[in-house]
Structure 1
């Protein structure tokens, strides 16, 4: 089976959590013989008065660029020394993080975006969304979220939940391409409720058949439970999973500000790598805006 991962982006702000994401992206790129882009987005700090005169900005931005260039050069050198055949480049972009990622995804035909998470959701982040969650929500490609404390860079045990019916065949192909490169055991996990069990069981049985036909190493279990995130988290911990491959579909009700939102709940209840599969044809419009603050008005926030 040909690789499904040929181009990878990893976003870094040079923190510990993004450093671990770079490490994970490096291992994946080596296994898949994929090109790796390490991206840093420079914040543009500026204030503008009512006459539209720039008050600050260029000097601070240039200092940030110089520091980023040095840090990226060190990262690139270190990775190249460990694998001389790795196709790696670095990128510095400006302004909106999401727009920068999506521009690069379009330019490089990216297959996977890797981002680090702290594993700690503060109340404000939980309500409004951290950078990692924004990338998950808005990036136009599949997203791998790597907790800062997660140090297992080969996926020997992969949990594959079946909780919604969207894009399951494509998601399975993507998972099998990863399993092939990691010699993974796939733990197929069906989770239905009173409204969806019959449909999901049908899809679950179909996936079992496909795994058997492709001679995959797998196990399969089906549960009925209303709280799918908790079932996945509990099952994955018991199975000592290295990665959970999820469909990005969030039952598509905009509960995103509340605790019952599946995506937020699964992020907050697991401590392993989470890969959210998104079809490459599913494009999302960037909502980030770079808005200068008028120094004669209160600064929002």
Structure 2
């Protein structure tokens, strides 16, 4: 992992995510790229023939000035955390956030996106795929969503939810690499519902394959998947919850607004969303 992208509007949520991004950049030895986007209103030039260009110029200038004023504040945060050696680069782009974010991911060869969320509405927006502007649906790199109340702390335990698909092994290996850098334990959770089609042989196969890794496998029988995941976060002292974006319907059901509210209000842990590969 070499490059982390942090979209920011310089809000409290974005600044909190910036702290997580700094610390994570240190862990994985990456550089941090800050992306600030702004949208220019569409004006009909026939009604503003003389002021047309100046309107756009003034909006661009105002955003540039704000960008210029805010960057030193972020660098001060880095210095206060003794992370001033982290390479921080900047992108100021006009246009739609998602469009620019996708372009930045491609052009800068981004490995990881970190984004701040302010509450339930943000979680619903970012997690549910019904909105084509969903960050997670539109980028194909891992996304770490950081609730505004999630203060950074040492990463000691990483939760990994799995459905025991063969493809999930690739994502578990990626998480184990991150965990190794922080000496963290990975706790893998599978909620075995009454309709589960995963065999005992599959469980044993996973345990054997990852026997030499720092991971525990938990299999809990229940049809209340959401509550089990919530208890898992609370009682296993999970610092980051990792989930894999499988088919849309399952993902939407898991992160509906009700469950999102419980996460943000009761546990406030960052959620790392991996993509099925």
State TM-score, norm by structure 1: 0.77
CA distance 1:187–1:123, shift in 2 (3 Å) = closer
Offset at 1:183? Answer: 1.2
Aligned length: 267
CA distance 1:80–1:166, shift in 2 (3 Å) = farther
The answer to whether the 8 Å contact 1:8/1:35 transfers is yes
Q: Structure 1 CA distance, aligned partners of 2:250 and 2:28? A: 35
Corresponding position: 1:44 with 2:36: no
Query: Counting helix residues as a fraction of each chain, which structure ranks higher?
Result: 2
CA distance 1:202–1:28, shift in 2 (3 Å) = farther
CA distance 1:46–1:202, shift in 2 (3 Å) = farther
CA distance 1:123–1:80, shift in 2 (3 Å) = closer
Q: Structure 2 CA distance, aligned partners of 1:176 and 1:119? A: 29
Offset at 1:169? Answer: 1.5
Q: How does 1:15-34 map to 2 (within 5 A)?
A: 15-34=11-30
Query: Any stretches of 5+ residues in structure 2 without a counterpart?
Result: none
| SS of aligned partner of 1:186 | strand
Q: Which of 4, 10, 14 is the equivalent residue of 2:6?
A: 10
Q: Structure 1 CA distance, aligned partners of 2:198 and 2:178? A: 29
**More deviation, 153-162/15-24:** 153-162
| SS of aligned partner of 2:176 | helix
**More deviation, 262-271/236-245:** 262-271
Query: Any stretches of 5+ residues in structure 1 without a counterpart?
Result: 283-301
Corresponding position: 1:93 with 2:86: no
Q: How does 1:167-206 map to 2 (within 5 A)?
A: 167-199=167-199, 202-206=201-205
Q: Structure 2 CA distance, aligned partners of 1:121 and 1:110? A: 26
Q: How does 1:54-73 map to 2 (within 5 A)?
A: 54=52, 56-73=55-72
| SS of aligned partner of 1:8 | strand
Write out per-residue CA displacement over residues 1-29 of structure 1, whole angstroms, 9 at most, x where no aligned residue.
xxxx2211111111111111000000000
Q: How does 1:126-165 map to 2 (within 5 A)?
A: 134-163=134-163, 165=165
CA distance 1:125–1:105, shift in 2 (3 Å) = closer
| SS of aligned partner of 2:22 | helix
RMSD value, Cα:
3.1
Corresponding position: 1:264 with 2:264: no
CA distance 1:6–1:127, shift in 2 (3 Å) = closer
State TM-score, norm by structure 2: 0.83
